Amino acid sequence: MKVELRFSTERVSEPIISSVILQEKAQINILRAQVSEDGGRVLLEVPDNQADEIIKAFRKLGAEVIVGKIIEIIEDKCIECGHCITLCPVNAIFFEKDYSIGLDEQKCIQCDSCLDACPTRAIKLYGE
């Protein structure tokens, strides 16, 4: 599953992720990382069966952990044109058989590519 970490500027230089990987012996995949003046934000893919332990470990080390919504397509805005499908590098968005828009939220890596392409601005990323 996907979790987002946020940490303050002081903690950016600490090896939080490596510590947790070693401590929990977990395979953690870094999908997106961003460091700015307001601190660091990292999107991680963690194994489902170890998720609880991993989240606890991160919190212990002072990182804020956000679990839950990654992306949403706002239903009454979306006109189901499908343009976002062609922009998604990980096939998180797709057409159902009847041309409705399907979304596999867990696949989304929050790359932003679809956001400015949506003609009705129906896509919302969380944690922005």
Partner 1 sequence: MEYLRHKNINVRKIHNKLQQKRNLQLENIRTIEEINEKIRKGDVNVVTAEEMVELVREKGSTIAAKDVDVVTTGTFGAMCSSGAFLNFGHSDPPIKMENLTLNGVNTYHGNAAVDCYLGVTKMHPEKPFEYGGGHVLEDLVSGKEIELEAAGYGTDCYPRKYLKTIITLQDLNQAILCNPRNAYQRYATATNGRDEIIYTYMGKLLPNFGNATFSGSGSLSPLSKDPNYETIGIGTRIFLGGSIGYVIGEGTQHSPTNKFGTIMVKGDLGKMRPEFLKGAAFTRYGTSLYVGLGIPIPILNEGLAKKTGVSDEDLKTNVLDYGIARRDRPVLKETNYAELKSGKIVIDNKEVSVTPLSSIKKAREIAKILKEWIEKTQFFLTAPVDRLPVDTIVKPMKVVSRIPFVNEIMENVVTCNLNDNIDVLAKKIIDNNVNHIAVIDDNDKLLGIITSFDITKAIATGKKGLEEIMTRNVITVYPEESVDICATKLEKYNISALPVVDRSNKLKGIITSEKISSLLGRIGLR
95 binds, among ligand SF4, partner 1, none (CB under 5 to 8 A by kind): partner 1
Structure tokens that stand for 15 in this block:
């090896």
118 touches ligand SF4 (CB under 6 A): yes
Token digits of residue 119: 């003609």
Draw the binding track, 60-99, toward ligand SF4 (x: CB under 6 A; -: no contact).
-----------x-x----xxxxxxx--xx-x-xx------
Region 77-96 residues binding partner 1, contact defined as CB under 8 A = 79-83, 85-87, 95
Interaction of residue 100 with partner 1, rule CB under 8 A: yes
- Asked if 45 and 2 count as a contact pair (C-beta separation under 8 A), the reply is yes
The 8-class DSSP code of residue 99 comes to S
- Among 1, 39, 38, 47, smallest CA distance to 20 is for 47
